Amino acid sequence: MSLLTFSCSSKAQKQTTDTGMQSDKKILVAYFSCTGTTEKIAGAIAQAVNGKLYRITPAVAYTSADLNWNNKASRSSVEMADDNSRPALGGETLNLKDYDVVFLGYPIWWDLCPRPVNTFLEKYDFSGKTVIPFATSGGSSITGSVKQLKALYPQIGWQAGRLCNGSAKQAGDWAKRVISVE
């Protein structure tokens, strides 16, 4: 019973970001990352907006051989060459109903989001959710991936995304601005 009381009262509290800004929105920062770059940015965003960090975890982790884009037979090459590829996910089950706004982070793979991100978006009911994409890359823009995501999932309330190849602090500052006008 005391547990129940605690969970109700904590839900009723407003979220406070690290600048003291208050927001009634419950924020999820979901990200996919294989070599840690997007993970670092996601962590900074979650801290900046007081969001819950959630790692999109493939059932089978990607090895460095899997990530070799120079090899047409590597796992990532094969998956990205197939529009219908949806690699299985592991990790904890998410209660998406608990969140109003989702920051969605991923590395750019062949100008798109990696296929496990598609699996994630199709595993949960994102209808009507506000989703704000962010990405890291070796130089490509986020534009192609967002265009494809909007076309595949028109039921989602997509907000303008951002390529976060700068510092983690810049990413956090951007996320705070987005939330304050959202």
Identity of the residue, 51 or 116, whose beta carbon is nearer to ligand FMN in the bound complex: 116
Tokens for 161, please give them: 């995304």
Cα separation, 111 vs 107, in Å, equals 9
**Residues within the interface to ligand FMN (CB under 6 A):** 33-39, 67, 69, 76, 107-111, 136-140
Using DSSP's 3-state secondary structure scheme, residue 19 falls into coil
User: DSSP states of 112-153 as a string?
Assistant: B--HHHHHHHHHS--TT-EEEEEEE-SS--SHHHHHHHHHH-
Nearest residue to 120 (alpha-carbon basis) of 133, 138, 136 = 133
- Shortest distance in whole angstroms from residue 141 CB to ligand FMN: 8
Residue 168: HSE in the Cβ half-sphere, 13 Å Cα cutoff = 13
Q: How far is the CB of 6 from ligand FMN (least distance, A)?
A: 35
Q: Which CB atom, from 100 or from 111, has the smaller least distance to ligand FMN? A: 111
Nearer to ligand FMN, 25 or 110 (CB): 110
By beta-carbon proximity to ligand FMN, the closer residue of 36 and 95 is 36
Helix/strand/coil for 178: helix
